[in-house]
Structure 1
Amino acid sequence: MAIIQFPKGMKWGGTATASYQIEGATNEDGRGISIWDTFSKTPGRVVNGDNGDIACDSYHRYEEDVELMKELGIDVYRFSVAWPRIFPNGTGGEVNQKGLDYYHRLVDKLLENGIEPMCTLYHWDLPQALQDNGGWNNRETIDAFVNYAELMFKEFDGKIKHWLTLNEPWCISFLSNYIGVHAPGNRDLQLATQISHHLLVAHGRTVKKFREIGIEGQIGFAPNTTWLEPYSTRQEDIDACNREIGWYIEWFMDPVFKGTYPKFMLDWFKKKGVELEIQDGDMEDIHQPVDFLGINYYTGHIARYKENEGLLDWELVEMNYDRTDIGWPIFPEGFYNVLMRIKDSYGDIPIYITENGSCYNDEPENGRVRDSGRIHYLQQHLTALSRAIASGVNVKGYITWSLMDNFEWAEGYTMRFGIVHVNYRTLERTKKDSYYWYKQTIANNWFEK
């Protein structure tokens, strides 16, 4: 057995959540409609026709949920704000004070219990009113986002000291507007690529606003990442895997850290008939220093070159890796490789792992949820994280996804990622075995493997 030890001062965030996935109360206290309200109620978009109207009802049960976090022993809780709770129509008009009041109650309860709030400004629930006007393809949405962010910064200055502008811009742009499985469900590569640029402009201008008004604290963003290991040393296999990784990493990180888009990806998009419209000043706006980088990682695989229609030019090679219940291969080596690639490309930027977790659909038996698969997944990925730290990656903290089972986007309530089980009929919370394992790991700052 080996002891996997973590550095002194490592911040443990037992939990990350997103507003639409847990809050419920979609029609209460002045909240406006989001694109996920619309999308989830469009037939055929979400498994079983599920939606977030109730979700985990955390809007009403936040005190109970904070108690779960306190017992877990976490240092930081990452949550997101529902933009349409603050500006029901996205921008303009009066601020919805009841929405602000809810987040003040949540943040105050966290601080009372010694838990540091980490706030994500945008975790996918765009106000429908803005989508009706073009959504992220309309540059007016950039201005609306900065306006919303400015209000939040001023409202919570001194309370929230870690901010994330965007969660998973790849999902906001490509998964939602090219692959089309998330809201708003478009299937247009040119549209998705242009939106990816507008998102980065929105991020950069928000960071500028944060600096201008002198907010106490730090700001960053949280891209999702993946890793494809080439099947062979053939250059075509290497290049195909590099493009897939670059679609997640370099496409969204190079503009922020280097002020340019990666040429190999620009060339690839151009080959597919896609060209970005970049306005004067955009790249300067994007290229703002951030205080830290959030990294989300779940899965990876072995792949080789294969000519396909559309953007992708690779195929997975089945290696009989274990898979989680959502079907994603368990590939902790990819986690290490992602972190090393980021260090090698961008230096010693402070990193928080803002999401890492697994789907296992274990149900309670005699009041206990025996999710040994999730514990094994966490052990594997925390070991990979320890390797990265030992190799010089500047990791400040680790946050697992998620506190509790919740509305899993297009999968509805069929997939469970939480370390706390939620009974969706009664809303009862049940701590899983993984909750207790993780609690012990946090308390020790190490685990045995």
Structure 2
Amino acid sequence: MLVGADHEAVRRRRSTALHGNMAITTWIWTTIGLLALCHSSVAYTKFPEGFTFGVATAAHQIEGAWNVSGKSENVWDRLSHSRPEMIIDGTNGDVACESYYRYQEDVEELEYLGVDFYRFSLSWARILPTGRIDQINPDGIRYYNDLLNALAEKNIEPLVTLFHWDLPQTLQDLGGWANPKMIDYFRDYSDVCFREFGDRIKSWITFNEPYEICEDAYGDDKKAPAIDSHGVGNYLCSDNLLKSHAESYHLYNEKYRPTQNGRIMISINSIWYEPSDPSNEEQVALAEVANQFKFGWFAHPIFTAEGGYPAVMVENVARQSAAEGLNKPRLEQFDEYWIQRIKGTSDFLGINHYTTHLITGAGLDPLAKSPSWLKDIGAVTTMEVGGDSASEWLRVVPTGFANLLRWCKSSYNDPPIYITENGFSDRGTLLDYGRISYFDAYLSEILNVIYDDGVKVLGYTAWTLMDNFEWRAGFSERFGFYHVNITDPARPRTAKLSAEYYKQLIANRELPQDARFKDPAVRK
């Protein structure tokens, strides 16, 4: 839309847009600040009646059995085998936690914790080895039926993710999520899953963390398939992914919901961006832009009344595309059919959140490629905030979580929210006081926004049940309640102190006050 505009017209438009963003975001940040200041002095510990707790895993990270019983290769199998140097510790998902063979033990661990639900994902390549419905693998169907039946015996509800990053390699060979045919393939895959398992699954998630799928896998090489088509492939991916999500939602809504009576949603992940200096209007405006680019990229088309990509995102990419000499923007707004088709296609807002980063000013971030999603934002970021974890990207900033939840309430018309992932990484200690402290602080902020701000958080999912294959970090970063010894072929699991913390939390529906969960160094 900016092709042919002179530079002065572009400058004037950018200035006007920035001032508009400042006015809106200054109001948002003022509101968030006032809400935080207006909190009562009560230290909330008790969760509301009906609040539910669970844990999450993902198929490729725990199942193993990568090439047995009819399962085909997926993109993470291909990456870890063909480019092993990309995995920090040289491990892979070939065996992982061996949950394909030891799912009964996993269910026993879940029963011990006392969880209300178990969030796990289905392996597309295990169910449909070609990625298409021309071949349905009976062993894949049997495995997930056995797992579902084992959960039912323990009265543990399944919360099931259709896609958690492990695309069949056969479909990646056709272009993966950059190929519009994926809309049909994903709808067909969804149909098989709804038909085979929907009598026992009442809660579905279409996609886990679409940002990671599109930006880190197609706009960069941080995740498989590591295409690194920065500034181009990531936006092709988001178009097809959001359309695929909508088609899966409408399929369930029209064909399966009347008899299965379930619900279906999407889990959107986000680092929360805050201004380094809340009194700096430019930083405040840029933080809002960054949050729209990160969270709004996938939330705005589904959860707002107007639908479509956030306006600031479309405008920024158009401006950058024009400056690059392109005839059309690298990201274009959906047409009216798809705006309406995508809008409203989630029964709840699923949020995966771990950390907060800061905006320090306008300009080109040192990590930004050209073109790229990061360059399109036009802001410089820093991770220099909060406490450390074993993951470079994960800083402990509990108040950022509360601000994200308040922002979602105000931005998306007060939606019902499930926290579908939240967790902390260390190097594998059994006395994991850092993890307990993280959970305690982040859960405390959830209680604050529930009671003081009226945010409709209905449930919480901890990442993760056991130490597993953490993608390119391999087993070097541990997030589990159970330690897994990967040097032992038997893959023994050992409960950490955090497992006892979470067990007590769930049993009492209250933040534990037991002194044994406090780091002795802090107690002194």
- TM-score tier after normalising by the smaller chain length: over 0.9
In the alignment, is residue 226 of structure 1 matched against residue 265 of structure 2? no
Q: Deviations over 1:205-242 (max 9, x none)?
A: 10000011133210001000121210223332123222
Q: Given the alignment, which residue of 63, 70, 73 partners 1:33?
A: 73
Partner Cα distance (1:75, 1:346) in 2: 27
The alpha-carbon deviation at position 51 of structure 1 amounts to 1.1
The residue aligned with 1:366 is: none
Retained in 1: the 8 A contact 2:470–2:477? yes
In structure 1, how many angstroms separate the alpha carbons of the residues matched to 2:274 and 2:67?
A: 45
In 1, Cα distance between the equivalents of 2:103 and 2:70? 18
Q: 2:454 is aligned with what amino acid?
A: G
Residue 14 of structure 2 corresponds to none
Check whether the contact 1:163–1:220 (CA below 8 A) recurs between aligned residues. Answer: yes
Describe the superposition over 1:153-204 as per-residue Cα deviations: whole angstroms up to 9, x where unpaired.
Answer: 1111220000000000000000111122101112221111121111000000
- Taking the aligned partners of 2:256 and 2:68, their CA distance within structure 1 comes to 33
Q: 1:115 aligns with which of 152, 156, 159?
A: 156
The offset of 1:301, in angstroms, is 2.7
Alignment of 1:33-432 (within 5 A): 33-43=73-83, 44-188=85-229, 189-215=231-257, 216-232=261-277, 233-258=279-304, 259-273=307-321, 274-276=330-332, 278=334, 281-308=337-364, 309-310=368-369, 311-312=374-375, 313-317=378-382, 321-327=386-392, 328-363=394-429, 369-390=430-451, 391-426=453-488, 427-432=491-496
Larger radius of gyration: 2
- Structure 2 stretches of 5 or more lacking a match? 1-41, 322-329, 514-524
Give 3-state SS (helix, strand or coil) of 1:182's partner: coil
- Structure 1 residues 125-154: Cα deviation after superposition (integer angstroms, max 9, x where no partner): 001111100111111111000001011111
Name the structure 1 match of 2:60. 20
More deviation, 182-191/241-250: 241-250
Paired residue secondary structure (2:346):
coil
Offset of residue 250 of structure 1: 1.2
**1:405 touches 1:416 (CA, 8 Å); kept in 2?**
yes
AA in 1 matched with 2:270: T
Segment of structure 1 superposing worse, 42-51 or 177-186? 42-51
Length-normalised TM-score, structure 1: 0.95
The 3 A distance-change label for structure 1 pair 278 and 99 is same
Aligned Cα root-mean-square deviation (Å): 1.6
**Cα distance in 1, alignment partners of residues 386 and 99 from structure 2:** 35
What is aligned with 1:441? 505
- Determine if contact 1:194/1:276 at 8 Å carries over to the other structure: no
CA distance in 1, matches of 2:428, 2:487: 16
With 277-286 and 115-124 compared, the bigger mean Cα shift is at 277-286
Aligned position for 2:516: none
The two structures have a TM-score, normalised by structure 2, of 0.82
Q: 1:446 aligns to what SS in structure 2?
A: coil
Identity %: 39
Q: Larger deviation: 273-282 or 33-42?
A: 273-282
Shift of 1:280: 6.4
1:248 is displaced (CA, Å) by: 2.1
Moved more, 434-443 or 236-245: 236-245
Q: Runs in 1 of length 4+ with deviation above 6 angstroms?
A: none
Tell me how far 1:277 sits from its aligned partner: 7.1
Structure 1: 5+ residue stretches without partners: 364-368
Higher relative contact order (CA 8 A, sep 6+): 1
Whole-angstrom CA distance in 2 between matches of 1:244 and 1:421: 36
Residues of 2 paired with 1:20 and 1:71: CA distance?
Answer: 24
Q: What is the SS of the residue equivalent to 2:86?
A: coil
* CA distance in 1 between partners of 2:345 and 2:362 (Å): 38
Cα deviation, residue 278, structure 1: 4.0
Give the partner amino acid of 1:370: L
Secondary structure in 2 aligned to 1:117?
strand
User: How much has 1:318 moved relative to structure 2?
Assistant: 6.4
Amino acid of the structure 2 residue aligned with 1:343 = K
Q: Does structure 2 conserve the Cα–Cα contact (< 8 Å) formed by 1:72 and 1:435?
A: yes
Distance, in Å, in 2 between the alignment partners of 1:224 and 1:3 is 26
How many residue pairs end up in the alignment? 443
Mapped partners of 2:184, 2:509: distance in 1: 42
1:74 maps to amino acid: V
Superimposed CA distance per residue, residues 270-289 of structure 1 (whole angstroms, 9 cap, x where no aligned partner): 23322337466322221144
Going from structure 1 to structure 2, the CA distance change for 1:200 and 1:383 (only over 3 Å counts) comes to same
8 Å Cα contact 1:350/1:396 also seen in 2: yes
**Residue-by-residue CA offset, 1:399-440 (whole Å, 9 max, x unaligned):** 100000000001111110101100002211000000001100
